[in-house]
Amino acid sequence: MSMIIDGKAVSAKVKENVRDEIAELKKKGITAGLAVIIVGDDPASKVYVRNKKLACEFCGIDSYEYALPAETTQDELISLVKKLNADERVDGILCQLPLPEHIDEKAVIDNISPDKDVDAFHPVNVGRIMIGDYRFLPCTPAGVMELIASTGVEVKGKECVVVGRSNIVGKPMAMLLLHNSGTVTVCHSKTKDLAEHCRKADILVAAVGVPKLITGDMIKDGAVVIDVGVNRLENGKLCGDVDFESAKEKASYITPVPGGVGPMTIAMLMKNTLAAAKMKAAE
């Protein structure tokens, strides 16, 4: 029977540490500010933005919200981004995804200053992650690393399997495990015999967006299982990419959905905003 990794508890510790550091910066006259842009009325995005605002309040980070109508043009959005790039109050800029279909997400991300790109999506920051010389880490993969660390299990020398190859989670997740000296396999929709690869994993990260794809018989005895997936079933309940009930019988540690990786993403955003403020103060 596995130990449940409590993402809420781990994220609370991260935010408390950020709050303490922000308080120390304020004593020196340094403030941290996060600008969050949301375009349109996507309900899930609204929830995320509200949670980010609450996290900023807890940590002592100034929060600037820009809620734009769905018909906002790409040029108008990029104009706002450039304005925030030049705003001294703003240390981090986050543009909530997904954007409406008529806006090119890549064009918007490319216009965010790499120094304020607290999502770590800009090509400059992606390249820095590749070579291991990073200033910010993508929030979800960074959160996963914190959860693994909380178990006391060392990544070095472990067989690590990442299921999913997205730019936001899968690819950077593989790089972070590699930077920590894990031996990494990345699986995806074209992988032959996914189960065979998963059974080799000492550390298994599922981030593919397919409900209950990973079942207990695909998991090595004693593996650490991190479930990044968030899927809504027909009955309205949330579930991950891992079949929790069967997987918990095999794993040594496992994250639940919800309450596992989710809370970590916002906590790591706070940590990145703190890093941006410290970086600016050091200039």
The catalytic residue among 91, 115, 117, 119 is 119
Instruction: Please give the radius of gyration of the chain, using alpha carbons only, rounded to the nearest integer.
Output: 19
User: Is residue 96 flagged as an active site residue?
Assistant: yes
CA 211/CA 192 separation, integer angstroms: 19
How many beta carbons lie within 10 A of that of residue 11, not counting itself?
25
The catalytic residue among 91, 96, 116, 250 is 96
Residue 42 buriedness (CB in 10 A; 0-12 / 13-18 / 19+): middle
- Can you spell out the DSSP letters for 25-89? HHHTT---EEEEEEES--HHHHHHHHHHHHHHHHHT-EEEEEEE-TT--HHHHHHHHHHHHT-TT
The catalytic residue among 15, 52, 212, 248 is 52
Q: How far is CA 100 from the centre of its chain?
A: 21
User: Is residue 119 flagged as an active site residue?
Assistant: yes
Which residues are catalytically annotated? 52, 96, 119
